[in-house]
Amino acid sequence: MCKIIVYSNESFEGRTTEFKHDVHNLAEKGFNDVIASIKVIGEPWVAYYDENFAGKQRVFEEGEYATFDDKGRFSSLKKVSADLDNPEIQLFEHVNYGGRSVTIYKETNLHSIAFSDTASSHKVKGGVWVLYEHINRQGSQLLSFPGEEVSSYVPLSFNDVASCVRPLLPKP
């Protein structure tokens, strides 16, 4: 079973509901811009700042989140149901897949390979990847699914900021 339980207050208090399927518009469910704590059971979920899975995003893997920095900002939710096996992402120094590139298969601190704050585009060959603004899985996130090709991070306000990347791993 895979579901996300959302709460209007921190520490699993206030109004609550659970979702087992994607929610394009949380306003229709009475939970737009109010989620302050979350429980995830099963596969990961992605919370988006805008409806229809747009805008900034945040990944929530199985577990309990009594509070988080961007509470009260989510407008849509999407269950991660993509194939998580055989992760591979190719990062490029410039937009439109130009300049130096690096292919990554596992969680990587981009500082350690001299590619931090450098990437401007990518191609996902396998798995679901999370790119982070800072090391140690901190800061803004950019999520990308198998087969996605992002030719420019500029419109996503993510250009030259990625410092850490990691694939979401399948459950054992």
pLDDT in tens, 87-123: 999 999 999 999 999 999 999 999 999 999 999 999 9
**For residue 88, is it left (φ>0), alpha (ψ between -120 and 50) or beta?**
beta
Nearest-angstrom CA–CA distance, 125 and 89: 6
pLDDT at residue 170, rounded to an integer = 80
pLDDT at residue 154, rounded to an integer = 95
pLDDT at residue 1, rounded to an integer = 78
SS (H, E, C) 96-159: HHEEEEEEECCCEEHHHHCCCCCCCEEEEEECCEEEEEECCCEEEEEEECCCCEECCCHHHCCC
pLDDT at residue 92, rounded to an integer = 98
Q: How far is CA 62 from CA 38, 41, 126, in A?
A: 10, 5, 21
Domains of the chain in start order, with CATH, are 3-79 (2.60.20.10), 88-167 (2.60.20.10)
pLDDT at residue 171, rounded to an integer = 73
Burial of 41 (0-12, 13-18, 19+ CB in 10 A): middle
pLDDT at residue 124, rounded to an integer = 98
pLDDT at residue 18, rounded to an integer = 97
pTM, to two decimals: 0.90
Q: What is the rounded average pLDDT for all residues in the chain?
A: 95
Q: pLDDT tens across 29-68, in order?
A: 999 999 999 999 999 999 999 999 999 999 999 999 999 9
**Dihedral, CA of residue 54, residue 57, residue 60 and residue 66, to nearest 10:** -110
Residue 81 has pLDDT above 90, yes or no: no
Q: What percent of the chain is predicted at pLDDT more than 90?
A: 94
Find the mean pLDDT for residues 10-20.
97
